[in-house]
Every structure is written in structure tokens, then in C-alpha cells.
Amino acid sequence: MIHKPSQPALTPVPASAESLLNLRIKHTRIKQVINELNTLIYPGSQDSILLVIGPTGAGKTTLARYMVEQALEGATSEMNKDAGLIPAVYVEAPSSGEDDFSWRLFYTQALAELGEDLSAPKVAYGIDPTTGKMVRPRGISPGGLAGLRTAVERCLKERDTRFVVIDEAAHIIRQTRRSRLEIQLDTLKSLANKGCSQIVMVGSYDLYQLVSLSGQLARRIHVVHCERYRQDRPEDVLAFTACVQKFQSVLPHVWGEQLVQYSQALHENTLGCVGTLSSVLTRAATNARQPHQCYLANHRGDGQRAKCSLRSTYWRRQKHGPQLVEG
């Protein structure tokens, strides 16, 4: 009997610093905000527009994507029965560089997320009952702004979409004159009413000014705060440390299982924002892999290099002061 030589075991490739960028942690703050939003999103709700506001780097984009993923996962059985069902949609508000916010671009992106085939012809033809000839009915141009808006409303109703998440919603405000802000919000409120959906606007604290535009609009808006982890709350310190432990577990060969001891310094220098923490650790891990760093001895391992990188980052921030974020 001839025995074939056994194949050598494959050595697992260690995770790289880029893996931290793709890591999304469903941490305590995200769970809290999602639970609050779940109580506000339901058919017939008077809160047609929900504002999720928070500081830069707090994890609002991760929250927005988790909301949609959770809705899709929860409706798996219904979607298997009805292939046209899309319970939630994620759209990033475009920043087109134009003087005014581009609703045309926004509607186009929304239709793409709703599965609308934008390349298919959108012209309806009919038969003239008098002449019997084929005619093209007059009406709204499907390629125009009104036609795109009508298509979005129809898709939201036909897809039975419960809510639409608009990430980076502050772009709507920054590309709109103050005198037209109420018009923009009325547009979204009307879209929610006609499409039988709720609008979840996610962005910075700039969104809060929408509440004071008019009493009628304020009645239809509910604000949810996605705040940072504070150092004066013991439960927040524990939650932030748990996030640091999660990042440590992704690259144990880089941190040397010693990243958690820097939790307090990381909490202070990132102001308790998990998104900012991800950026800082990604830079530190990238620097630790660079052999040409002048302050690193050749005999030091990745873990020691990562610690030096963190110390270097901490020293620079202490010297020049921490970067301030909104809130």
C-alpha cells in the first residue's frame, strides 16, 4: 500500500492593520440607541423623522448600517415569501459640490438601493381609443426630478419599506441656505408620508437646528442622542475598555496582549469615541509594522513597536493638545 505524503499544515496568516478598519463592534452605546429606535419605528408613528445625532467618531455610521442589517435579518422569512420586500434602506446623503443639495442624486441613489432598474425604459405607451394608434401619454417625465420622486414614493410603498436611513444627513443642511431649510425638511416629511415610511437622519449636532424651524415640524421629529463614552461614568469606562479588548483580540500579535493597559490614555485622547479609537489604533498598528521607524530598535517585536507607537501618539497629543470633536 502506497502512502501519499501528507500535506504540510498551512500557517494562518496574521490579521493586518487594515482589518481594524473593517471591524465593526456592536458596543454598548450602539445597542442602547438601536433599542430606543426600535421603540420609535412602527407603522402609524407620529414621529415621521428621527434624528440620530452625536459627535464625530462616535460610531454613527456603524449604527446606521447595523439598523438596516438588523431589519433585514429580522424579516428574512417574510423576504423569502415576498421577493419584493425591502424593510429598510441605507442611503448616504450626497455631497455633490453644487450650490444646493442635489435631490436628483439622492433619489437616484435611493432607487438603486430599492432595487429599481434605472437603465430600463421608463416610458409608458398606450392605445388611443379613437384612432386605435399607439400613443405616448403625456405626464411627468420619468427622468425628471418629479418623476424620480414619484418613483421613490412608489418603490417605498411597494417594497413595504418601514424606514429609510440617511447617513451624513448634515450634507443636506450644509448645502442649503438657512431660508430653505424648512422646505428641505418638508420634502423629507412628505416623502415619509407618501411612501408610508419613517426617515432616520444620522449626522452631527448640526442636525439639531432642524428642531427649531417650526412648531409643526418639531412635533413630527424625535431626537436620539448617540453620545460618546464619558470618563466620569464607571459604566462608560467599562464599556470603552471592552471595546479596547475587542481591538486587542483582533491583532494579538501586534499588541502583545497588553493594549488594555492603555485604555485610560486611549479614552482620554479619543474623547471616548469608538470610531476615533479605531483610527488611532489602525495608525499605531500600521506604524508598528514599518521597519524604518527611527525610534524603534531592530530587536523589538511587533508588540513593543505598537507600544512605542502608542506612546508617541500620546506624547504628540499631550504636547499639541487633543483634537476637539463636536460635543
Predicted pLDDT at 229: 94
- Region 303-326: mean pLDDT is 48
Predicted pLDDT at 286: 83
Alpha-carbon torsion (127, 131, 134, 136), positive or negative: negative
User: Which residue(s) pair with 225 in the sheet?
Assistant: 53
Of 8 and 35, more confident: 35
Helix (H/G/I), strand (E/B), else coil: 16: coil
DSSP state of 43: T
**Which tens digits make up the pLDDT trace of 67-121?**
999 999 999 999 999 988 999 999 999 987 777 888 999 999 999 999 876 555 4
**Which tens digits make up the pLDDT trace of 206-250?**
888 888 877 777 788 899 999 999 999 999 999 999 999 998 888
pLDDT band of 134, cuts 50, 70, 90? low
**Which tens digits make up the pLDDT trace of 262-311?**
999 999 999 999 999 988 888 888 887 765 444 333 334 444 555 555 55
Lowest average pLDDT, out of 24-33, 46-55, 72-81, 111-120, goes to 111-120
Of 117 and 56, more confident: 56
**Which tens digits make up the pLDDT trace of 158-199?**
999 999 999 999 888 888 787 788 888 889 989 999 999 999
Is residue 51 a contact partner of residue 37, using CB atoms and an 8 Å limit?
Answer: no
Predicted pLDDT at 181: 83
Predicted pLDDT at 125: 53
At a CB cut-off of 8 Å and minimum separation 6, what does 56 contact? Answer: 204, 273, 275, 276, 325, 326
pTM for this model (two decimals)? 0.76
**CA angle 65-58-247, nearest 5°?**
85
pLDDT band of 142, cuts 50, 70, 90? low
Of 15 and 62, more confident: 62
Helix (H/G/I), strand (E/B), else coil: 159: coil
Query: DSSP characters for 84-144?
Result: T---EEEEEPP--SSSS--HHHHHHHHHHHTT--TTS-----EE-TTT--EE---S--TTS
Dihedral, CA atoms, 135, 136, 138, 140, nearest 10 degrees?
Answer: 160
Predicted pLDDT at 311: 54
Of 269 and 320, more confident: 269
Lowest average pLDDT, out of 22-36, 133-147, 203-217, 302-316, goes to 302-316
d(CA 59, CA 276): 8
Can you read off the three cell numbers belonging to residue 30?
450602539
Highest mean pLDDT among 45-59, 125-139, 295-309: 45-59
Which amino acid belongs to residue 187? Answer: T
